[in-house]
Structure formats: structure tokens, C-alpha cells
């Protein structure tokens, strides 16, 4: 079973070393692997090349669709593991797209990486198979709010959110585009009882200027409600680019 990865700017698989840019591990040196495919369609998604392929009529604010053949590459899990190991990092971030759509192949890949710490970024609509879950040190769960354009019945699945809310490895990262979005986070927080210190609010934006502008009011909302604020370090360091 092959892994289906996103491609970098050279057309090769998007496997690279960088600093984690978001959430509780921000600033940590890590290896990244970005998988293709997603079961949701956020209108502001900054990795639309992982799912918004030609023929996909779901809306995206850029109005761009991508050729599937040039934006996906298949790798044997052992090949992916070898490339990750060659980066020499102690921690691996598995991202997407929605990486847990490829749980079986991920399990095969992680079998070749027995000593690396594993962090998975997920939209929280699915669960890792047991052979993947046992290897996970941290889940970065990013449930999609109404402003993402996804229907709540697809994006906010109660049994999945209950599962992650009860897992001490799970942190919740909410993308915030406008101050009123925080009301939805508060409603979810009341319903699912997320652990104290495990909720991050992160401004939506793909430039430093856009992030800084929103962070001025987002910081005040974090102070008011006791949430943590996540920056997007990779945007400040490298811009909105692949392989960073």
C-alpha cells in the first residue's frame, strides 16, 4: 500500500525539515511529511494543492484548481521512512490534507521509524487506527468552524470530538478569521470540556501583515477567555510556500 503525498516545488514528495510553526510544539526542529487528500474543503485552506484538484467544484477563495498528476506522488512507506530518517530529526510531524485518511500506509511507514516522536495534525473527523495511535505522542486537532465553509455535520462530529477531548495527547487549534468566531469556540469548549491549556486560537492568514493585524484583537480575546494563542512562525520565516 503506497502513501499518497503532496509535492514540493520540484515535483518531489513534500518531506522536509523545518521548525514547527504552530501549536504547542512551535519552534521545535522537526521532520515534516505532507500527505495529499482531504475529506473537508476549507475556503481559506493554504494547502489547497493537496485536495482542490481539477473537477472539484467545492469553493476556495483563490478560485484555483490543481492538476492531480503534478501535485501528488506515491511512495512506498519504507521509502518515505528512509527519506524522513535521512533528515536526522528526533520528531516527525505528519500533516496534510487529512493524514488519517491514509492510516494503513502510515502504520507501515512508522514501523520503519521505531525511535522517532510522532505528532499528527488532523481536522478531528476521523481516528487513527490502533497501530498508528500507539505511536502518536501528540495530536494537533483543528476542528473547522463555520467560517471554513464546511457543514457542521461533516466537520464537527460529536463522537470524534468527545474522543479527542478525552485524550491527554490532544491539543485543539482553532483558526480564527474574525472576533465572532471565538463564540463558536466557547460553545464547543462548553460542550466537550477541553482540557485547560489545551486550546489554541490561531489567526487566519498567509502573510505576516495579515497575521499581525488579527493578532492585535485575538490576543485580547485569549486573555479574556483563558485560551492560548498560536502564531504561524513558518509564514514569518518563509512566507506561504511549500516545503517549509
Q: The domain containing residue 13 runs over which residues? A: 3-238
Q: Are 244 and 18 in contact (CB under 8 A)?
A: yes
Sign, Cα dihedral of 208, 231, 151, 119 = positive
Hey, how many other C-beta atoms are within 10 angstroms of the C-beta on 196? 8
244 domain residue, yes or no:
no
This prediction's pTM: 0.97
90-122: per-residue pLDDT in tens? 999 999 999 999 999 999 999 999 999 999 999
What pLDDT, in 10s, does the model give residues 18-54? 999 999 999 999 999 999 999 999 999 999 999 999 9
Q: How far apart are CA 66 and CA 16, in angstroms?
A: 22
Rounded to an integer, the average pLDDT of 183-196 is 98
Q: pLDDT tens digit string along 211-227?
A: 999 999 999 999 999 99
Q: So what's the pLDDT on residue 125?
A: 98
Give pLDDT tens digits for 1-21.
999 999 999 999 999 999 999
Mean pLDDT of the chain: 97
Q: Is residue 144 part of a domain?
A: yes
Q: Answer whether 17's CB lies under 8 Å from 87's CB.
A: yes
Task: Return the residue matching grid coordinates 515534516.
Answer: 32
User: What pLDDT does 135 receive?
Assistant: 98
3-state SS string for 199-218: EEEEECCCCHHHHHHHHHHH
Instruction: Please report whether residue 137 resides in a domain.
Output: yes
- Domains in the chain: how many in total? 1
One-character DSSP codes across 119-183:
EEEE-SSS---HHHHTT-SEEEE----GGGT--HHHH--HHHHHHHHT-TTEEEEEEESSTTHHH
Residue 59: pLDDT band with limits 50, 70, 90: very high
CB 40 within 8 A of CB 154: yes
Query: Is 243 inside any structural domain?
Result: no
d(CA 218, CA 210): 12
Which domain CATH number covers 124? 3.20.20.70
In a domain, 155, yes or no: yes
Mean pLDDT of 187-213: 98
Amino acid at each position: 500500500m503506497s502513501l499518497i503525498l503532496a509535492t514540493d516545488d520540484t515535483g518531489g514528495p513534500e518531506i522536509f525539515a523545518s521548525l514547527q510553526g504552530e501549536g504547542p510544539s512551535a519552534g521545535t526542529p522537526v521532520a515534516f511529511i505532507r500527505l495529499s487528500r482531504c475529506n473537508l474543503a476549507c475556503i481559506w485552506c493554504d494547502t489547497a494543492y493537496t485536495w482542490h484538484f481539477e473537477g472539484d467544484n467545492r469553493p476556495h477563495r483563490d478560485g484555483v484548481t490543481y492538476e492531480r498528476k503534478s501535485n501528488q506522488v506515491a511512495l512506498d512507506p519504507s521509502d518515505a521512512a528512509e527519506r524522513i530518517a535521512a533528515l536526522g530529526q528526533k520528531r516527525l510531524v505528519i500533516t496534510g490534507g487529512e493524514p488519517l485518511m491514509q492510516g494503513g500506509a502510515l502504520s507501515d511507514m512508522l514501523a520503519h521509524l521505531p525511535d522517532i516522536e510522532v505528532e499528527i495534525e488532523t481536522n478531528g473527523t476521523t481516528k487513527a487506527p490502533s497501530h498508528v495511535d500507539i505511536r502518536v505522542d501528540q495530536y494537533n486537532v483543528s476542528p473547522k468552524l463555520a467560517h471554513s465553509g464546511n457543514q457542521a455535520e461533516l466537520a464537527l462530529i460529536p463522537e470524534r470530538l468527545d474522543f479527542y477531548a478525552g485524550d491527554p495527547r490532544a491539543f485543539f487549534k482553532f483558526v480564527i478569521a474574525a472576533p465572532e468566531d471565538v463564540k463558536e469556540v466557547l460553545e464547543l469548549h462548553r460542550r466537550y470540556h477541553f482540557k485547560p491549556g489545551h486550546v489554541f486560537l490561531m489567526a487566519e492568514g498567509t502573510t505576516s501583515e495579515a497575521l499581525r493585524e488579527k493578532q492585535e484583537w485575538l490576543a485580547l480575546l485569549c486573555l479574556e477567555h483563558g485560551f492560548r494563542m498560536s502564531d504561524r512562525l513558518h509564514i514569518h520565516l518563509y512566507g506561504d510556500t511549500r516545503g517549509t
